[in-house]
Amino acid sequence: MKTVKIVVGANFGDEGKGLMTDYFAKEAKDKNQSCLVICHNGGSQKGHTVVSPSGLRHVFHHFGSGAVCGADTYLSARFIVNPITYNKELAELKSKNIEPQIFVHDQALITTPFDMMLNQIAEEYRGKSKHGSCGVGIFETKVRNEEYRIESTISGFSNLSRQQLGSILNRIVSEYFPVRLKQLGVDTVPDKWNKILEYKECIIENFIDDFLKMKKSISSAGDSILDLYDYVIFEGAQGLLLDQNNLEYAPHLTPSSTGIKNPMDIIAKRNADVEVCYVTRTYMTRHGAGRFDTECAKKEINSQITDLTNIPNSYQDTIRYGTLDLVDLKERIENDSKGFPVKKSLAVTHCNEYGINEEMLRKLFCGYKIYRSDGMTHNDVKWKLPIFNSLAED
């Protein structure tokens, strides 16, 4: 029976999904099993940090976080590919002697530079009412493809000549771009963006180069690719509270399903031993604008916390901190997993930075396998067998 791990962020993201993906990939490596990491939602806004015991550090965007341990990567049809950031990351990985095999679904969407520009212009125009986007054009890519039907998929672009690609990109910037800006409520485009758009032909040519370069390094595949591997890890992006259907938190959401829906659709009726690992810090964080019910000052958690990945930026500002409500955590995990025949586990990270109510944790999560981490590497992850009711009442 195939081993399947589904790694899900239980909060607003930044919980430690990269760490747990790396941990499971190491488990597969130790068992000498072939391993595939499937990225099934979001896109290059994902920022999952992996630190090896030897000190190698990488923030994963397009590639599965199991790559350091030799796992291959599959970007599913629901993952949005950005050739610009893809090539940059691949070069970074190669400089660290990591060269993962990467497979991409033919129907995966492609972000263009103009989707990124629309995203950034709109966020700047919103000012204090900004949505907290990462600025890499994820939502704009979906809108253009799904609502305006100006499609950009891996298979669609791969079947076009350079001249045809140029024509589509020219149509996007000349016809679609101003229409979309108006829909976004942007009346006046700042001068700096107008100056950049003066070089649109150069931008288009460079982007085509990026796409063609990326194309050489990827292999086409469908969901059946997972049948070729012993150990499969679904690496989710963002967290349950940012799911596109969590409308109580709109509009500060991500345009994808962040829980187990996508992985279970891909697994379908395959015979697999499925464990869903929900990941949380001992406290909560949120990078970007929006509702945060348990928000507090950083000093109330730990003033000494240093986050090298979530650095301040003009779109998401500074990372925010809050306390973790274990009752709410259990409720959203149960809601996400309801109706799916899976084993559930909980990974609690950053245990060295802030405490957790151990008694409540044991009672609420009896029956769960519990992983804990008090460091940055897979060697820092420890686990305990599930605690059942008779023990939970001790």
Catalytic residue among 40, 48, 105, 378: 48
13 labeled binding residue? yes
Residue 216 burial (CB count, 10 A): 6
19 annotated to a ligand binding site: yes
- Reduced to 3 states (helix: H, G, I; strand: E, B; else coil), residue 109 is strand
- Residue 149 marked ligand-binding: yes
| Cβ atoms of residues 111 and 138 within 8 Å | yes
- Cα gap 357→360, rounded to integer Å: 6
The DSSP letter of residue 313 is B
Q: How far apart are CA 203 and CA 136, in angstroms?
A: 16
18 is in an annotated binding site: yes
Annotated binding residue at 355?
no
Q: Answer yes or no: 14 catalytic.
A: yes
Consult the annotation and say whether 282 binds a ligand.
no
User: What is the rounded distance in angstroms from the CA atom of residue 179 to the CA atom of residue 158?
Assistant: 27
Q: How many Å apart are CA 383 and CA 348, to the nearest integer?
A: 10
* 15 annotated ligand binder: yes
CA angle 36, 6, 31 (to 5 degrees): 50
**C-alpha span between 254 and 43 (Å, rounded):** 10
Is 49 annotated to bind a ligand? Reply is yes
Q: Is 254 annotated as a binding residue?
A: yes
Query: Closest by alpha carbon to 157, among 114, 214, 197?
Result: 214
Q: Choosing from 14, 115, 210, 243, which is the catalytic residue?
A: 14
Instruction: Give the pair of three-digit tokens for residue 211.
Output: 């796409």
How would DSSP label each residue in 139-194? HHHHHHHHTS----BHHHHHTS-HHHHHHHHHHIIIIIHHHHHHHTT--S--HHHH
Angstrom CA distances, 147 to 108, 138, 139, 150, stand at 16, 14, 11, 8
Q: Are 102 and 63 in contact (CB under 8 A)?
A: yes
Select from 158, 41, 168, 63 the least CA-distant residue to 106: 158
Q: Is 105 marked as a binding-site residue?
A: no
Report d(CA 130, CA 288) in Å as an integer: 9
Catalytic annotation present for 317: no
DSSP string, 15-59: SSHHHHHHHHHHHHHHTT--EEEEE-S--TT--EEEE-TTS-EEE
42 is in an annotated binding site: no
Find out whether 238 is annotated in a ligand binding site. Answer: yes
**Residue written as token pair 């274990």:** 326
| 107 assigned to a ligand binding site | no
Binding-site annotation: residue ranges for GTP: 13-19, 47-49
Binding-site annotation: residue ranges for Mg(2+): 14, 47
Binding-site annotation: residue ranges: 13-19, 47-49, 149, 238, 254
Give catalytic residue positions: 14, 48
